[in-house]
């Protein structure tokens, strides 16, 4: 197995698998978040916390995948830059996109955002320092609405989620190619589907701070 991690195709496959699992997590996370619109966020949070061992398994596996993804991202980026030490006086990009060429930077934005987001919402919620709602449950919904009141917070989330969009708009469809799942007929379909999934996920996440900021959802 050691040689698998040393091979450049092996490393790409690792990037793809870890990326896709994190996208699955994003999907589950978004579905959970959507309960804020039905007023069921507190109930969802309470039920999630009843599954503490599962929550911790998920956290630890996500952290492991994230660290692997970051480690190989930096390694591959440095190796790839070394493979192209001199550029062209006149350069032209035909098929590559702004997103595909800036994965390391959009990835950095997402990584910084994850730390901020955990400190902003996850740590207060997990540490039990949240006031209780009328039914005696931790008032996660109220905490979220309060957390998104400031304009600066809304801007931070807006910029970070655009970074996430940039990252997964290339990442999702690219993962399928790295796993060898995009044949000649499937490739254009997978390409478009990957972009649509990326747009839907980003729009879903983005809607929460924006709508709270505008004041439609109230605690």
Q: What is the binding site for another protein (CB under 8 A)?
A: 2-4, 7-13, 76, 79-80, 82-97, 100-101, 103, 170, 173-174, 177-184, 187
Residues of 112-146 as b/e, b for ≥16 C-beta within 10 angstroms? ebbeeeeebeeebbeeeebeebeeebbbbbbbbbe
> In the beta sheet, which residues pair with residue 138?
132
Give the shortest CB-88-to-another protein separation in angstroms: 5
Given the complex with another protein, which of 11 and 207 has the nearer CB atom? 11
Alpha-carbon 2 to chain mean position:
28
* Cβ proximity of 141 and 42 under 8 Å: yes
Q: Distance between CA atoms of 208 and 214, rounded to whole angstroms?
A: 10
- Measured from the CB atom, is 35 or 102 closer to another protein? 102
- Residue 141 or 178 having the CB closest to another protein: 178
How far is the C-alpha of 193 from the C-alpha of 215, rounded, in Å?
33
Shorter beta-carbon distance to another protein: residue 8 or 216: 8
Give min distance, CB of 74 to another protein, in A.
13
Q: At what angle do helices 41-50 and 140-147 cross, to 10 degrees?
A: 120
Shortest separation between residue 97's beta carbon and another protein, angstroms: 8
- 3 vs 131, which CB is nearer to another protein? 3
Name the minimum Å distance from CB 46 to another protein. 42
We find the least distance from the C-beta atom of residue 183 to another protein, in angstroms, to be 6
Shortest distance, position 22 Cβ to another protein, whole Å: 17
Which of 37, 98 has the CB closer to another protein? 98
- Taking Cα atoms as reference points, which of 175, 135, 151 lies closest to residue 22? 175
Q: Are 145 and 212 in contact (CB under 8 A)?
A: yes
CA distance 121 to 40: 17
Beta partners for residue 132, in sequence order: 138
């Amino acid at each position: 197995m050691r040689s698998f991690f040393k091979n450049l195709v092996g490393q790409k496959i690792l990037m793809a698998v870890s990326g896709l699992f994190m996208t699955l997590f994003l999907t589950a996370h978004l579905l959970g978040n959507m309960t804020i619109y039905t007023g069921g966020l507190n109930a969802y949070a309470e039920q999630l916390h009843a599954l503490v061992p599962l929550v911790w398994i998920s956290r630890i596996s996500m952290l492991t995948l994230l660290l692997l993804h970051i480690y190989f991202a930096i390694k591959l980026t440095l190796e790839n830059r070394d493979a192209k030490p001199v550029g062209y006086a006149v350069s032209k990009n035909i098929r590559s996109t702004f997103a595909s060429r800036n994965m390391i930077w959009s990835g950095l934005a997402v990584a910084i955002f994850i730390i901020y987001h955990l400190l902003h919402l996850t740590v207060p919620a997990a540490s039990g320092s949240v006031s209780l709602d009328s039914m005696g449950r931790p008032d996660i919904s109220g905490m979220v609405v309060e957390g998104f009141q400031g304009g600066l917070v809304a801007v931070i989330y807006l910029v970070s989620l655009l970074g996430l969009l940039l990252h997964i708009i290339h990442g999702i469809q690219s993962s399928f190619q790295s796993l060898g799942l995009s044949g000649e007929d499937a490739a254009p379909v997978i390409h478009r589907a990957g972009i649509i999934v990326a747009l839907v996920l980003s729009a879903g996440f983005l809607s929460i701070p924006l709508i709270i900021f505008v004041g439609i959802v109230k605690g």
